[in-house]
Amino acid sequence: MKSSVNKVAQLVSPTVEALGLQLWGIEHTSQGKYSVLRIYIERDIGVTIEDCEQVSRQVSAILDVEDPIAGEYTLEVSSPGTDRLLFTVEQFQHYCGEEVDIRLRSPVDGRRKFRGMLQGVVNRVVQIEVEGSFLELPYEEIEKANIVC
């Protein structure tokens, strides 16, 4: 599924940028035969409903032609919101000092879920402080992370 998300990012990023927006991230989730492809867009001055509609129309046409996602899915276009998901190392670096929720693919110290203060990122290792302890979590092991509001 990760490779299909990367393919979608390559396909839609130029279109999103041509519309004056930034591709914040892409999330593909599935439950049984249903799946959702969620594209997050961002801009310094904020994202409007019209921005989401315009990106949805343009991106939908591209995805219909290129067909990078197997099976049927629902396309959603959204702003990252205040509890924004973090997708890239650069986004983690930008939000140092913020409280984050992180879910890992496999356990570290018997846990997969952590909530703490984001301290930094060094050599693709995310550093957080959780309940007075300093933890280092490999970026590649992060399944999902978001800012806590």
Residue 1: its pLDDT value, please? 56
55 occurs within a structural domain: yes
Cβ atoms of 103 and 112 within 8 Å: the answer is yes
CATH of residue 124: 2.30.30.180
83 occurs within a structural domain: no
Last residue of a domain, one of 25, 48, 78: 78
Last residue of a domain, one of 30, 56, 78: 78
Q: How many domains is the chain partitioned into structurally?
A: 2
41 occurs within a structural domain: yes
Q: Domain range for residue 39?
A: 2-78
The reply to whether 37 and 69 lie within a common domain is yes
Each residue's pLDDT tens digit, 78-118: 999 989 999 999 999 999 999 999 999 999 889 999 999 99
Cβ atoms of 124 and 142 within 8 Å: the answer is no
pTM of the model: 0.88
The reply to whether 11 and 70 lie within a common domain is yes
Each residue's pLDDT tens digit, 24-78: 999 999 877 889 999 999 999 999 999 999 999 999 999 999 989 888 899 999 9
Q: Report the C-alpha dihedral over residues 54, 19, 82, 94, rounded to 10 degrees.
A: 160
